[in-house]
Structure 1
Amino acid sequence: MANLKEVKQRINSVASTQQITRAMKMVAAAKLRRAQERILKMRPYSQKLTAILDEVVSSMGGELEIAYAEKRPVQKVLIVAMTSDKGLCGAFNSNILKTTSGLVSNEYKGKDVTVLPLGKKAFEFFTRRDFRINGDFFEIFKDVSYEEVRKIASFAMEGFIKREFDEVVLVYNHFRNVATQDITVEQFLPMGSLNTSGTEAKPTDYILEPSKEYVVQDLVPTALKTQFYKAVLESNASEHGARMTSMDKATENAAELLKELKLMYNRTRQAAITSEILEIVAGANALEGN
């Protein structure tokens, strides 16, 4: 049985760890509230913009060829993997890394694949392994803003137009709630919903000025950048939700461990007292016998 000093040291150590995990949970909760507000405000805008674009394109009946919707044989692929900069958020990062590695090894096996890591964990993971990566944007989560995300989206879009990539895929955690984040593999380019060749024009209630073509050419890049920004916000909110849940569980586990250690401490203390009493009694009996 451990002595009292060792048990006391373990109690102090676990109590200190519990204070840290509780503080990290509170910080994650504060960050989550802000991130959740941003994604909840972004979703309706992104969905409405996509709906408008789909209706306008459908009304044209394939009259306009859209470069971002061009489908061609897939030989060169860009995979954008979104993780966090820090750990202590459960399986948040490992799920993304495992999914991305699976895509490279299975679905895109034999293809020319480039990984664009967003987040320090993804950058470190793919740098240590035999992956071709572009590490220009991995620090995006230090300050998530539309302007910074727009640069990354523009890089992917320009690469697609220049035929440097035949397909661009986003791998991220979709934020459902604090305790649930869904791994999402989303095709960013080509824009499948805009493949309208051979379809009949559908009537629309929109009045478009100066022309449908002009509006579509302006809307498509905006819609793509908004889609990319929404994915980054989803990942950011998911990270804070995963960390908050993880730290909450860690705090609960520390409380359970403290309970067990205190019980062990009391038992050890009682055993030591009992042992001292027995020694005293044995000494007294020996003196009486003499």
Structure 2
Amino acid sequence: MANLKEIRTRIASVKNTKQVTSAMKMVAAAKLRKAQDAIIKIRPYTDALHKVAGQIAAASEEDFYSPLIESREPDQMLIVLFTSNKGLCGAFNYQITKAALSYVRTKHADLLGQGKIQFLTIGRKGDELIRREGFKVWKNADDLLAQSKFKESASLANDLMKVFLNKEFDKVVLFYNGFKNAAVQRVTQENFLPVDISHKDKEFDTNYILEPTAGEIVTDLMPKILQISLHSALLDSLASEHGARMTAMHKATENATDLIKDLTLNYNKARQAAITNEITEIVSGANALGK
């Protein structure tokens, strides 16, 4: 059994760790509330924007064309991976990176073998994992997580539209953790470009007069849809990160509490054993002197 000094040192160390994890849990909880409010507010707008575009496209009797919906055989693919800049958030970074790598290795092994798949990493942790696996990183956008402003998200979305229109990439896919609650994050894969309007909404009042044409309206909406979709994915990832970190720190604090209890019990046992040994030595010494 460890001596009393070693156990006291371990107890003090675990108590310090518990204070840190408890503080980190409180910080993550505060950030989560803010991020949760942001994603709850933006989701109805994002859904409504997609629905309006689908309804107008469904009501149109004309065949319209936009280069942003041009589906072509992928020759160059870009994977946008959302992770975090910091760790201590459980399996948050690993699970989404694993999903993205599994996707390219199973669904697009041919392109991967030809070196035609690149990554746009948003988050240092994902960037480190991707580079460690030997994949090409087209661009890194860690600053987006610190700002989390629509202006920066829209600028990045515009860059993605530009490279798609220039045919530098034929397909852009998003991978991020979708926020459900503090304890649950869903791995989400979303085709970003080309825009898919095949799921047209048929429930639309065709009595509306559209001016200009339906095609022009949908074409004008597409950049806005892509900008808001990328920003929504960013907010989802941020809320999921704070939720995962809060959960991880909560578990770490609980584990520290349990460990302190066990160490305290061991300390009391060791202390009791030491006292018993001292009493035995005193009694034995007294008996020896009495003889």
Normalising by the smaller structure, the TM-score range is over 0.9
Which residue of structure 2 lines up, in the alignment, with residue 52 of structure 1? 52
Name the stretch that deviates more: 106-115 or 135-144: 135-144
- 1:106-255 matches, cutoff 5 A: 106-111=106-111, 112-194=116-198, 204-255=206-257
Q: Whole-Å Cα distance in 2 between the matches of residues 52 and 206 of structure 1?
A: 13
Share of identical aligned residues, percent?
Answer: 45
Q: Whole-Å Cα distance in 2 between the matches of residues 236 and 205 of structure 1?
A: 42
Q: Whole-Å Cα distance in 1 between the matches of residues 61 and 106 of structure 2?
A: 36
Q: Whole-Å Cα distance in 2 between the matches of residues 125 and 139 of structure 1?
A: 18
Cα deviation, residue 203, structure 1: 5.2
Cα deviation, residue 77, structure 1: 0.8
Amino acid at match of 1:174: G
Amino acid at match of 1:153: A
Q: Please, which runs of 5 or more residues in structure 1 have no aligned partner?
A: none
Are the counterparts in 2 of residues 118 and 138 from structure 1 also a CA contact under 8 Å? Answer: yes
Are the counterparts in 2 of residues 25 and 248 from structure 1 also a CA contact under 8 Å? Answer: yes
Which residue of structure 1 lines up, in the alignment, with residue 63 of structure 2? 63
Deviations for 1:162-200, whole angstroms, at most 9, x for unmatched residues?
A: 11111110000000001000001111112222477xxx9
Q: Whole-Å Cα distance in 2 between the matches of residues 18 and 87 of structure 1?
A: 17
Q: Please, which runs of 5 or more residues in structure 2 have no aligned partner?
A: none
Q: Whole-Å Cα distance in 2 between the matches of residues 182 and 208 of structure 1?
A: 38
Cα deviation, residue 211, structure 1: 3.4
Cα deviation, residue 214, structure 1: 2.9
Are the counterparts in 1 of residues 178 and 188 from structure 2 also a CA contact under 8 Å? Answer: yes
Which residue of structure 2 lines up, in the alignment, with residue 262 of structure 1? 264
Residue 275 in structure 1 maps to residue 277 in structure 2: yes
Are the counterparts in 1 of residues 62 and 215 from structure 2 also a CA contact under 8 Å? Answer: no
Are the counterparts in 1 of residues 85 and 124 from structure 2 also a CA contact under 8 Å? Answer: yes
| Runs of 4+ more than 4 Å apart | none
Are the counterparts in 2 of residues 69 and 194 from structure 1 also a CA contact under 8 Å? Answer: no
Cα deviation, residue 204, structure 1: 2.7
Q: Whole-Å Cα distance in 2 between the matches of residues 163 and 136 of structure 1?
A: 20
User: What TM-score results when the alignment is normalised by the length of structure 2?
Assistant: 0.94
Name the stretch that deviates more: 155-164 or 228-237: 155-164
- CA-atom RMSD in angstroms: 1.9
Q: Whole-Å Cα distance in 1 between the matches of residues 281 and 178 of structure 2?
A: 66
For residue 137 of structure 2, give the secondary structure of its aligned residue in structure 1: coil
User: What TM-score results when the alignment is normalised by the length of structure 1?
Assistant: 0.94
Name the stretch that deviates more: 83-92 or 144-153: 144-153
For residue 181 of structure 1, give the secondary structure of its aligned residue in structure 2: strand
Q: Whole-Å Cα distance in 1 between the matches of residues 286 and 205 of structure 2?
A: 106
Q: 1:37 to 1:285 in 2, by over 3 A?
A: same
